[in-house]
Amino acid sequence: MTVEYEGTRYSGWQAQKNARTVQGEIIGAMRTVLGSDDFEFMGSGRTDAGVHALAQVAHLEARTMLSPAILQMKINDLLPADINILQTEKAHPRFHARHNAISRSYIYQISQRRTAFGKRYVWWIKDRLDLDMMQGACGIFEGFHDFRSFTQDDPEAKSTTVDLEACRMYTWGPTILINVRGSHFLWRMVRQMVGMIVECGRRTVTPDQLRELLSTQSSFPATKTAPPSGLFLHHVQYDRSEKPPEISPTVLIR
């Protein structure tokens, strides 16, 4: 299943006992449609509270006589308006949405002006930004690095090394998009990266200081974490021959 959602009202993707989540809403609808609790539903990865998805991928393992199209229609009929299943198809019995993914792409959306329409989907930055400095900062992140300064994961509990395939910046009028693509991401890694890219754009951090953060452990990036409103899970890739969708703004701000 490919799922889109606006994460503003939810405490992230993953189901939790005492919080409203995207996965929890879908599971509730599935229980009604399938008339059973005997199923497994798992996404390609977690998104934090307030983070959105253009194309989250999930797998459902269940016994049903319903066709994928009918199953999708019935579940969507029960979902709130800010969650929508875009596509449903039969998968190989061994397919796993998380384990079989080879890369994930995120988009972070920044507005250089106050907007009446896109507040939930952008980070509005009042300061004048040096776009050339930001573009250069993006390039510093590309490649294989230890991102222990750019996560709130415990580096002693799990590996913090990530191979970042791409970190690119695009502009559309007052809108700035930062696209990052890699095999996996650490907790809050993208938002802390974006926060530091913006600090470079503000000229409060130099490229050399940014490089130093990739070689030593520091809590400084956590103090500059970008808000969740501008972050979107853009694409999950399962086949190297697959061409990722184009990068474009989710809300066009003129």
Catalytic residues: 48
Report helix, strand or coil for 114: coil
**Cα–Cα distance, 33 to 48 (Å, whole number):** 27
Residue 151, judged by CB atoms within 10 A of its CB (0-12, 13-18, 19+), counts as buried
Angle at 76 (CA atoms; ends 70, 77), nearest 5 degrees: 90
Number of other CB atoms surrounding residue 90 within 10 Å: 8
Q: What are phi and psi of 205, to 5 degrees?
A: -130, 135
- Reading the block at residue 27, the tokens are 């599971």
Q: What are phi and psi of 47, to 5 degrees?
A: -120, 145
Residue showing tokens 């600090």: 199
